[in-house]
């Protein structure tokens, strides 16, 4: 890509993909390797879901949703931590009650508009690595680097169950692998069929299947690609 072609692109590594594909882990590691900021947009939608639950917001009440969005004070830290008002809520974002509702909340157009503005604002502060469901298609269509990270449903279920075990402890009553896979496949269906900003792979996104691939290998591949581009055009990644 020539310098003239790239002049209007944003210094953003945008990563999309379904739940459990490894995109959050990859994005965080890529940001660390590059020394760039990292934004986990999934955590933002989880935080809104947690807020709605705590505020008893009826998801069928558009006015109540708009009022709740007007009151929310959401802040994301570069380390993946999230605050609602002055309280850190990071450890509560993967609670079962949040997991059960986050896709429904994330499909609400007013919620997506509100989060979209916050997400785009992050890129104004410098180079950014961001991951989610609509980063390459809607939020950052002008990102310089676009990736779609995927894995088989079974592999994603194994990873998600491992996350649940890590959070709850090995002695906890854990869901079966089949149950986790069914939940993920239902979330895939909801995310890919919603009217506003559905999950999809854009033509410009490089496809990366992480089934059987080590996270370190995937991270190194992305970092090498970005650094190669930066070497060709040192003006990139410095604003």
pLDDT tens per residue, range 19-37: 889 999 999 999 999 999 9
pLDDT tens per residue, range 202-226: 999 999 999 988 889 999 999 999 9
Going from N- to C-terminal start, the domains of the chain cover 10-228
pLDDT tens per residue, range 164-199: 888 777 777 889 999 999 999 998 998 899 888 999
Of the chain, the percentage scoring pLDDT greater than 90 comes to: 75
Phi then psi for residue 209, to 5 deg, are: -90, 115
Give me the pLDDT at residue 195, please. Answer: 87
Task: Report whether pLDDT(7) > 70.
Answer: no
pTM of the model: 0.86
Give me the pLDDT at residue 4, please. Answer: 35
> CATH number of the domain at 10-228, out of 2.60.40.10, 3.40.720.10, 3.40.50.300, 3.40.50.2020?
3.40.50.300
Give me the pLDDT at residue 226, please. Answer: 97
User: Helices (DSSP H) in the chain: which residue ranges?
Assistant: 3-6, 23-34, 41-54, 62-71, 96-99, 102-106, 109-122, 153-168, 177-193, 215-232
Give me the pLDDT at residue 234, please. Answer: 60
Report the length, in residues, of the chain: 239
Q: Which residues contact 59 (CB under 8 A, 6 or more apart)?
A: 52, 65, 101, 104, 105, 108
């Amino acid at each position: 890509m020539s310098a003239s072609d790239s002049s209007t692109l944003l210094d953003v590594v945008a990563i999309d993909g379904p739940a459990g594909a490894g995109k959050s882990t990859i994005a965080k590691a890529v940001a660390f390797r590059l020394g760039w900021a990292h934004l986990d947009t999934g955590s933002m939608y989880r935080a809104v879901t947690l807020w709605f639950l705590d505020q008893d917001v009826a998801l069928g009440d558009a006015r109540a949703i708009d009022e709740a969005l007007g009151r929310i004070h959401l802040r994301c830290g570069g380390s993946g931590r999230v605050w609602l008002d002055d309280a850190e809520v990071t450890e509560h974002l993967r609670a079962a009650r949040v997991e059960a509702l986050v896709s429904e909340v994330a499909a609400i157009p007013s919620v997506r508009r509100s989060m979209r503005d916050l997400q785009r604002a992050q890129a104004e502060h410098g180079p950014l690595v961001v991951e989610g469901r609509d980063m390459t298609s809607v939020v950052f269509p002008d990102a310089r680097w676009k990736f779609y990270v995927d894995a088989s449903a079974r592999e994603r279920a194994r990873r998600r169950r491992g996350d649940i075990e890590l959070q709850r402890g090995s002695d906890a009553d854990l869901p079966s692998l089949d149950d986790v896979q069914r939940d993920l496949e239902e979330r895939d269906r909801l995310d890919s069929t919603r009217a506003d900003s559905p999950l999809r792979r854009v033509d410009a996104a490089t496809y990366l299947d992480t089934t059987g691939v080590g996270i370190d290998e995937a991270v190194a591949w992305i970092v090498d690609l970005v650094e190669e581009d930066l070497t060709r055009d040192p003006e990139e990644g410095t604003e």
